[in-house]
Structure 1
Amino acid sequence: MKRKSLLVIGLVVVLLLSTAAFSNSLNLATNALKGKNIGFVQLTLGTTYHAAMSDRFDELAKEYGANFTQVVSSNRSAAEQLALAEDLIAKGVDILILNPVGDEIVPSVADLCAQKNVPLFCVDNTSPGQGYVYVGIDNFAIARAIGRFVADFMGGEAKMVYVRSTATDTGCPALRFGGIMGGISDQGEIKGYDIIDERYAVVDVGESEGMLQMEELLAANPEIDVVIAHHDAQALGALTAIRNSGRTDVKLIVGFDGELRMLEEIKAAENGKNGPALATGLNSPTMIAEICMQQINETLQGIAVRDCYYIPVVGISYDNVDEYMSYGF
């Protein structure tokens, strides 16, 4: 197997300053956040990723004197998220932040915000569009970097299983899967890479769910080379299931997000010397919150902002994991 590092494939930086993406300070010349009411419709708090994002929004709101109100989806439905958004707007928020259950809910919330003249910021689980500012990642580009690593590592063929998000998640899963397969094809023929099985998450996309998904996949498939997981949390759950099973056929597990525990496991695995190798892509929830709050501050001053702000496109494997340990969450 060819084993190459997963490199930074480009900085897709649509920021005021390139260094702002890796800053943990807003560096506000003028604080327009003080006394403002900011509402956040969060997708879930059931993963480390989403909890870290919520915590960072809350910290920044407190630091700069804003009133921050968060509501969380309980059943991952578009109807519920729309109702939560309506309630926050009725309570008089100046800004609404939405982490949508999927792309289908965004136009309805955008229309609602336009009617009430409330600026809308969408984060994470959607893509750039009309009527809102998107702050997040280029899911396809980051997944493509991961796919290139899969192809380099495996060297031409692999039996792959897919630990998926929930069936109701219509936001980024298609972009991530498409990016991974595109990255594999970048490195040569894709015909040797077969998705032999998959499992949807039933409840949420956390570690325990990933473990259950992987247990089913292991029971159903006597030979697996590569595990593709929608989130690092699910990848970590899959790793636990593999270890518990005693199976040694799995050569590589790839996740998505850059959780600290995932980075630690990437380093400990030493590119496959100690169990399956691991890789992931940087999707920093704290960075997204910081960029979002900075652009909210600009908006509150009447300063025009862009429609889209991406964090840098970074893939992480054993060869470069030390560079990104400080961004783990």
Structure 2
Amino acid sequence: MFGCSEEPAIKGKDGKKQLIVGFSQIGAESSWRTAETESIRSEAKARNIELKFSDAQQKQENQIKALNAFIAQGVDAIILAPVVETGWEPVLRNAKKRNIPVILVDRGVKVSDESLYTTLVGTDFVLEGRLAAEWVVEKTGGKANIVELEGTPGSSAAIDRQKGFSEIIAKHPNLKVIQSQTGEFTRAKGKEVMEAFLKSSTNKIDLVFAHNDDMALGAIQAIEEAGQKPGEDIIIISIDGVKGAFEAMVAGKLNCTVECNPLLGPVAFDAVERAVAGETVEKRIMIEDKVFDQSVAKELIGGRKY
């Protein structure tokens, strides 16, 4: 009969040949985030996995509520894209007590016991920051006044991208970050912050480093409205590699984007299935990043999936 102890673990807790997975997503603050959600949803459908989806609307408390609900419902596994790094231990301990594996996607957490989550599937945010800074060094000859549009405060993406960028910039004394403020990973906030930078800066702004493409696209709007030419008067580099960034590069308004691939569904569900089956899963599963500038944008834009 269904549900007997001989049934393989990969079959759902109700005995049916279908896994039930809870997915707590941060929100829909960017086209990157939307692409990630679609990747996970479509992969669940392709594998006949029942996906319970929760949009946290940028709030950790909503994610914690969703996770506790998933646990109470007895899901087989949880996929979590954490909005910030800290504050997860109680709910993750709750999941561990119920033997529910938690797969982190794209962002990490800081916990005292790393066994509280199974694996992190994502890219190397520190490396992305370094790659952006290396491009800046080459593009500017090591001399520029830089403004930085930071991501969500407390998020691993914002912390690590800034860390990687700063590591390289610090080696070049004529590269100076003259202003830095959060744009919360959104286009609207990126535009608002860039407007403030343009009005308040006493120094000429040579370059914008945005922690994601959406903030860069907002900054482009602000620069244009201020009567300057983005991509010419002010150099702009961002991170994510979404199609909108490629369109901006083709138009000459964005100079470079560092890819952060959001199509994590296949790799995430590979990890889910291995964890539910009792197999060992490596603690970090990395997705490779690439750097794209205007010279290749037109050639590659047709093949972008996000």
TM-score of the aligned structures, taking structure 1 as reference length? 0.80
| Matching of residue 279 in structure 1 with residue 256 in structure 2 | yes
Aligned to 2:20: 37
Question: C-alpha displacement at 1:176, in angstroms?
Answer: 0.3
**Matching residue of 1:272:** none
Equivalent residue number for residue 244 of structure 1? 225
Q: Look up the SS of the partner of 1:255 in the other structure.
A: strand
| Aligned 8 A contact 1:226 1:253 in 2 | yes
Mapped partners of 1:32, 1:250: distance in 2: 58
- Distance (whole Å) between structure 1 residues aligned to residue 102 and residue 241 of structure 2: 27
1:218 aligned to 174, 198, 207, which one?
198
Q: Is the 8 A contact 2:151 2:158 kept in 1?
A: yes
For 2:152 and 2:39, locate their aligned partners in 1 and report how far apart those are by CA, in whole Å. 25
Deviation at 1:323, TM superposition (A): 4.8
> For the residues of structure 1 that align with 2:294 and 2:141, how far apart are their CA atoms?
17
Secondary structure at the aligned position of 1:285 is classed as coil
Amino acid at match of 1:283: C
Question: Which of 301-310 and 243-252 deviates more?
Answer: 243-252
* Deviation (angstroms), 1:127: 5.9
Q: Give the whole-Å Cα distance in 1 for the aligned partners of 2:244 and 2:301.
A: 12
Cα offsets for 1:238-285 (capped at 9, x unmatched): 11111121124743111111110102222332xxxxx5x521211111
Whole-angstrom distance in 2 between the partners of 1:200 and 1:91: 37
Match of 2:209 among 219, 224, 228: 228
Q: Give the corresponding residue for 2:155.
A: 170
Question: Which has more radius of gyration?
Answer: 2
Write the letter of the residue equivalent to 2:227.
G
1:326 aligns with 2:303: yes
Which of 10, 32, 46 in structure 1 is aligned with 2:29?
46
Deviation at residue 299 of structure 1 after TM alignment: 2.3
Instruction: Tell me, in whole angstroms, the C-alpha distance in 2 between the residues paired with 1:84 and 1:303.
Output: 26
1:295 matches 2:277? no
Q: What is the rounded CA distance, in whole Å, between the counterparts of 1:127 and 1:309 in structure 2?
A: 15
Q: Is the 8 A contact 2:243 2:301 kept in 1?
A: no
Once the two structures are superposed, the pairs formed by residues 120-131 of structure 1 within 5 Å of their partners are: 120-126=102-108, 130-131=114-115
Shift in Å, 1:171: 1.9
User: How far apart are 1:137 and its partner, in Å?
Assistant: 0.6
2:7 matched residue in structure 1: none
Change (3 A) 1:221 1:42: same
- Kept in 1, the 8 Å contact 2:107–2:120? The answer is no
CA distance, structure 1, for counterparts of residue 11 and residue 293 of structure 2: 40
Taking a change above 3 Å as real, the CA distance of residues 324 and 301 of structure 1, as seen in their structure-2 partners, is farther
2:150–2:162 Cα contact (<8 Å) kept: no
Q: Structure 1: where are the runs of 5+ without partners? A: 1-30, 270-274
Between the aligned partners of 2:103 and 2:301, the Cα distance in structure 1 is 27
Q: Which residue of 1 aligns with 2:95?
A: 113
The structure showing larger relative contact order (alpha-carbon pairs under 8 Å, at least 6 residues apart) is: 1
| Residue of structure 2 equivalent to 1:5 | none
* CA 1:293–1:245: 2 relative to 1, 3 Å: same
Instruction: Report if the CA contact (8 A) 2:88-2:109 is conserved.
Output: no
Contact 1:82/1:108, CA 8 A, preserved across alignment? no
Any idea what SS the aligned residue of 2:147 has? strand
2:248 is matched with 265
- The number of residues matched between the two structures is 285
The match for 1:207 is 187
**1:136 — aligned with what?**
122
Match of 1:313 among 285, 289, 293: 289
CA RMSD of aligned residues (A): 2.2
Q: Give matches, 1:49-88, under 5 Å.
A: 49-77=32-60, 79-88=61-70
Write out the 4+ residue segments of structure 1 that deviate beyond 6 Å after TM superposition: none
- 1:128/1:308 contact within 8 Å kept: no
1:65 counterpart SS class: coil
Runs of 5+ consecutive residues of structure 2 not aligned to the other structure: 1-9
Q: Report if aligned partners of 2:255, 2:293 keep a CA contact under 8 Å in 1.
A: yes
Q: Is the 8 A contact 2:187 2:214 kept in 1?
A: yes
Residues 36 and 199 of structure 1: is their aligned pair in 2 closer, same or farther, counting only changes over 3 Å? same
Give the whole-Å Cα distance in 2 for the aligned partners of 1:292 and 1:325. Answer: 26
Relative distance call for 1:75 and 1:264 in structure 2 (3 A) is closer
Is the CA contact 2:82–2:109 (under 8 Å) kept in the aligned structure 1?
no
